[in-house]
Amino acid sequence: MTYRLFEGKDHASSYWKFRISPSDNLIQQVLDFLEKHKGHPFELAVDVGCGSGQGTVLLAKHFASMVATDVSPAQVEMALQHSKEPNITYKQCVAEELPLADSSVDLEAHRVLKPRGCMALLNYTMEMELSYPDCCSQTLNQICQEFYAALVPYRSAHLGSNSIELYREAYKSLPYPDKEWHECVRVKRPMPLSSFMGFVESFSSYQTLVREDLQKATALSQDISHRLMSVMKVSSAETEVEVSVRYYCLLACKPEEA
């Protein structure tokens, strides 16, 4: 079932600008799994829920062709604005109605997967960690935890209390015999503190707060930003910090007889 949590042009713009893409190492884990269970050539991959396309362009270089889909017209429009790769086709559609033939895809999900084709579900936890030279990381991240906690009441009930639990359950219930679960894949990126704030503000829970009470959302962001700068002993939100994101992924191979 499709839930629309990342709609709107402003939201799509912040999604493109601030979201942290999977690392090359994480993409390589996916490719290694595919090569192990299916082998070359890598002909067609589908990125379902592609958002503004950051992960799509990373995968596309390894496949002859790539189809990327999202339910949000604004997200697809943003992806098209930033992607010029000739082997990518973007389509706006719900995940349950992919415009692809059965058993035609190397990397995606059951109906459209070829025998020995693979599925890769990637996501990350909301609890990003900050670090800054000569600064107490524990204090910084306590403030970050307060930021995340303040957004919990605005989290969609469809996502549960923690998305990683949904993925764990999917892994346990998936009937494919060849499957892997990777839970702690760290991706670190340097960025201005303002971009870290923009990253959190691109989450659907923060966007819900904005829609319900813009003044409260703005005050929350300003308070968190000022407190972080105070601990860092800096006066500019453009000061660079290191952001660590914990990715997790489910990899599975469709059996020959499925």
- pLDDT tens track for 49-72: 888 888 898 899 999 999 998 888
Confidence (pLDDT) at 160: 66
pLDDT at 51: 81
Name the band, by pLDDT with cuts 50, 70 and 90, for residue 82.
Answer: confident
User: Bigger pLDDT: 71 or 35?
Assistant: 35
Quote the pLDDT of residue 2: 42
pLDDT at 112: 83
Q: How many angstroms separate the CA atoms of 87 and 60, rounded?
A: 7
pLDDT at site 219: 97
Q: How wide is the angle at C-alpha 68 spanned by C-alphas 181 and 14, nearest 5°? A: 85
- 3-state DSSP assignment of residue 193: helix
What percentage of the chain has pLDDT greater than the value 70? 93
Q: What is the pLDDT of residue 1?
A: 43
Distances (CA, A) of 30 to 37, 118, 203, 253: 11, 9, 25, 11
pLDDT at 163: 79
Q: What average pLDDT does the segment 211-236 reach?
A: 96
Quickly list DSSP for the chain.
-----S-SHHHHHHHHHHPPPPPHHHHHHHHHHHHHHT-S---EEEEET-TTSHHHHHHHTTSSEEEEEES-HHHHHHHHHH---TTEEEEE--GGG-SS-TT-EEES-TTTEEEEEEEEEEEE-S--EEE-TTS-HHHHHHHHHHHHHHHGGGS-GGG-S-HHHHHHHHHHH---SSEEEEEEEEEEEEEEHHHHHHHHHTSHHHHHHHHH-HHHHHHHHHHHHHHHHHHHT-S-TT-EEEEEEEEEEEEEE--TT-
What pLDDT is stored for residue 155 in this prediction?
A: 86
Q: Is the pLDDT of residue 243 over 70?
A: yes
Give dist(CA 248, CA 48) in Å, integer.
Answer: 17
- pLDDT band, residue 4 (cuts 50/70/90): very low
| Type and span of the H or E element at 253 | strand 240-253
Q: What is the signed CA dihedral for 84, 88, 89, 94, rounded to 10 degrees?
A: -110
Reply yes or no on whether the pLDDT at 48 is more than 60: yes
Please name the amino acid found at residue 42.
Answer: F
Helix (H, G, I), strand (E, B) or coil at 62: coil
Predicted TM-score of the model (pTM): 0.82
